[in-house]
Amino acid sequence: MKKVLIVTVALFLAFNCFAQEQLAFPFQGGKEVMAKFFKDSLIVSSQLISQKATGTAVFKFTADEKGTIKKIIIYYADDIRLTQPIIEALKKSNHKWVIPDHEKFHDFIIPFNISFNTPAVPGAALQKAVYNFSTHRKPIVTTDQVPLDMATLLPTVTVNYDLPH
């Protein structure tokens, strides 16, 4: 009987050692709902569309236990002009974030990729506009260490917009 009890306890301890904490996706509804939310909420301005803006931006934000965003930090952006629509979309996501039960605040890192849908026949004007945007961009880069703490890296949100005909 003692051997059975000892083996049972050993198996129980071994099981607990290998068990990992399962976290729900931190956006209400899951990954697909988050991707759809940002595709619908992130509105690319007509100025960005006319400039054929494309690029990547990485943000860190802090959400509280009610899902309210408390702080937004830009870690990197290919161009400062890309950040404004992303910040507006992040603000619209208030109360949609779910943090672990034992925390009062949680940090998230979320990358965004903005680009246009390439037309079937791209012309020289499109190539020139893309070149002009990339040569005149004003990137935001960090010049010092970036404290990540206990942040959750979210999947990249990709937003594609259509060019006017």
Domain ranges within the chain, ordered by starting residue: 24-161
Percent of the chain with pLDDT over 90: 67
Q: Angle 121-82-105 (CA atoms, 0-180°, nearest 5)?
A: 135
Nearest to 49 by CA among 163, 127, 157, 136: 163
Query: In angstroms, how far is CA 4 from the centroid of its own chain?
Result: 50
Can you read off the two tokens belonging to residue 150? 């206990």
CA distance 32 to 93: 14
Question: Shortest CA distance to 51 belongs to which of 122, 141, 115?
Answer: 115
Query: What integer pLDDT is reported at residue 20 of this predicted model?
Result: 43
28-52 pLDDT, tens digit per residue, is 999 999 999 999 999 999 999 999 9
Tell me the pLDDT tens digit for each residue of 4-24.
Answer: 656 565 556 665 555 445 557
Mean pLDDT of 80-104: 93
What pLDDT does 148 receive? Answer: 74
Whole-angstrom distance, CA of residue 109 vs CA of residue 12:
36
pTM as predicted: 0.81
| Count of residues making up the chain | 165
Q: What is the CATH number of domain 24-161?
A: 3.30.1150
Two structure tokens written together for 6: 């000892």
